[in-house]
Structure 1
Amino acid sequence: MIEFKNIYFIRDDKVLLNDINLKINKDENWLVLGPNGSGKSTLFSLLNVYTVATKGSMEVFGKVFGKSNWNEVKERIRIVSSTMNKFNDTFYKETVYEIVLSGLHNKIGIFEKESDEDREKTLEFLKKFDFYHMKDKKYSVLSAGEKQKALILRSLISNPEILILDEPCASLDLYQREKILDFLKDLDNNLIYITHDISETLPNITHVVLLKDGEVLAKGKREDVLTDENLSKLYDLNLKIFYGNNNRPVVEIL
């Protein structure tokens, strides 16, 4: 579904992405793991053309960037990241229902009366994900975790073929983080989960790519990549990985 070939991204003479090669197939859920500043967000921002690679090629759903109508590609992908904050002036005036409804047509804000079909679909969707009771709450009064769930639901309601979550738990306390992770573990969309925290690795993750200093340190099946050796190289620490009762990995510094 997604293939990056020999991707370079250079800004102000600094190489932020250095010869990235990565292929993500259908029915794979990927963890993108690396320290802050390793190039994780930069790489996947290329998909929505928030930035454009200095060199290399990108193919998504069989369409090559620069040779295809990329709007057709973007319609099949949803990204939830901190860049959504630039729309807070609009979100803060809206209810949870209005925010999720706007995701049906991938618009920011509601500017016309919704159809009966869209209204019914949105209400049923909120019920499905146990958020119906929040439908009339203003976004402005939600907790950080509730805001994040509202934005994730906004992205999910259009049933994207790929859902990209960029540091979705970065601003959450422990309780809110666990609520979001519990919610995400049962999603059946193709998921790309970007984080610097290995403890957020969901049980449904099948593949992992480790990024360090703009380069791929390791990639492949989860069990082959999440090893003591690889993680020690990634974080420049002597680490040992083990699994808790929730089947999520944690590391111990030796």
Structure 2
Amino acid sequence: MEKIIKLENILWKRDGEEILKDISWEVNRGENWAILGLNGSGKTSLLNIITGYNYPTAGSATVLGTEFGKASLPEMRKKIGFVSNALGRFQQTMNRETVENIILSGKFASFGIYQEITPEDAERAASILKDLRLEYISEKRYAVLSQGEQRRVLLGRALMNEPELLILDEPCAGLDVLAREDVLSMTESVARDTLPLLYVTHHIEEITDAISHVLLIRDGEIISQGPKQEVLTTENLSTVYKIPVRMHWEAERPWMSVERPNKESR
């Protein structure tokens, strides 16, 4: 079975503090993973290892066949599509661009078009606009779009370069219910198109049917990993979220509620 990601005994320190501790994890082709944990649990640090922006303090990492320390990490990054709120630092530049140009810019990992666009590039962008239901706003500037539309545009940009791995880092953060479900619908369609997906969140209700596996992380350590039906238990989620919770399945999606103490028992 082809391995998309293989991390072995990863340790990562920042300013002498252990942020990631003994992380061992494999992602195989055909698996789509959700990564769950509280803010500050190590999710972003783990993504930075996977994308090669942080180098492990100890342990070994191989992503998309690239073994860290033995091959070019910048070349590896070109194979990864990435959507994150961290892209907000390019907001001013994106606000001046049309939807079509932002999607095209994904071919060059830039914001703005600084190289020649081929007919093949234009054709692929048009296909993405159609698949993500963005044709009606293709000539609009990014600045006038709703948050939900902006997330779908960034998803289209991530797909432009035909990545071998797609990482979505809290793509529904800040969205209302309608916009969230729209983004999740688009994400599910992409995940079913044989493209390996890592979906990072702390909201378990965003785990759609297309997600097959879950990694739970707390304070830089893996609490549980594997098929989602085995990992998403009341006990595991209570451990990860540091508060008693109850989870259940509805319409093939997991849902969670916080357990409140019985007033009579106080």
Looking at structure 2, the residues matched to 42 and 48 of structure 1 have their Cα atoms a distance apart, in angstroms, of: 10
Q: Does 1:14 align with 2:20?
A: no
Aligned residue in 2 for 1:251: 256
Q: CA deviation at 1:113?
A: 4.6
Q: Which amino acid aligns with 1:49?
A: G
Aligned residue in 2 for 1:98: 101
Corresponding residue SS for 2:163: coil
**What TM-score does the superposition give when structure 1 sets the normalisation length?**
0.94
- 1:83-134: CA deviation from partner (whole Å, max 9, x where unpaired): 2112222211100000001112322211245222322221232112211111
- Quick check: 2:64–2:164 contact (8 Å CA) kept in 1? no
Corresponding residue SS for 1:6: strand
Looking at structure 2, the residues matched to 124 and 199 of structure 1 have their Cα atoms a distance apart, in angstroms, of: 29
Aligned residue in 1 for 2:133: 130
Q: CA deviation at 1:180?
A: 0.6
Corresponding residue SS for 1:186: helix
Q: Does 1:190 align with 2:196?
A: yes
Unaligned runs of 5+ in 1: none
Corresponding residue SS for 2:189: coil
Aligned-residue CA RMSD in angstroms? 1.4
Q: CA deviation at 1:42?
A: 0.8
Q: Does 1:210 align with 2:248?
A: no
Runs of 4+ in 1 over 6 A off after TM superposition: none
Match of 2:167 among 159, 164, 169: 164
Looking at structure 1, the residues matched to 52 and 145 of structure 2 have their Cα atoms a distance apart, in angstroms, of: 30
- 1:133-158: CA deviation from partner (whole Å, max 9, x where unpaired): 11011001111111111001100122
Aligned residue in 2 for 1:144: 147
Aligned residue in 2 for 1:238: 244
Deviates further, 227-236 or 117-126: 117-126
Q: Which amino acid aligns with 2:46?
A: L
Looking at structure 2, the residues matched to 47 and 239 of structure 1 have their Cα atoms a distance apart, in angstroms, of: 30
Looking at structure 2, the residues matched to 136 and 75 of structure 1 have their Cα atoms a distance apart, in angstroms, of: 27
Q: Which amino acid aligns with 1:73?
A: M
Query: Identity across aligned pairs (percent)?
Result: 39
Q: Which amino acid aligns with 1:42?
A: S
Deviates further, 106-115 or 213-222: 106-115
Corresponding residue SS for 1:175: helix
Corresponding residue SS for 1:35: coil
Aligned length in residues: 253
Q: Which amino acid aligns with 2:249?
A: Y
Match of 2:230 among 203, 224, 227: 224
Looking at structure 1, the residues matched to 13 and 72 of structure 2 have their Cα atoms a distance apart, in angstroms, of: 25
Q: Which amino acid aligns with 1:95?
A: T
**What TM-score does the superposition give when structure 2 sets the normalisation length?**
0.90
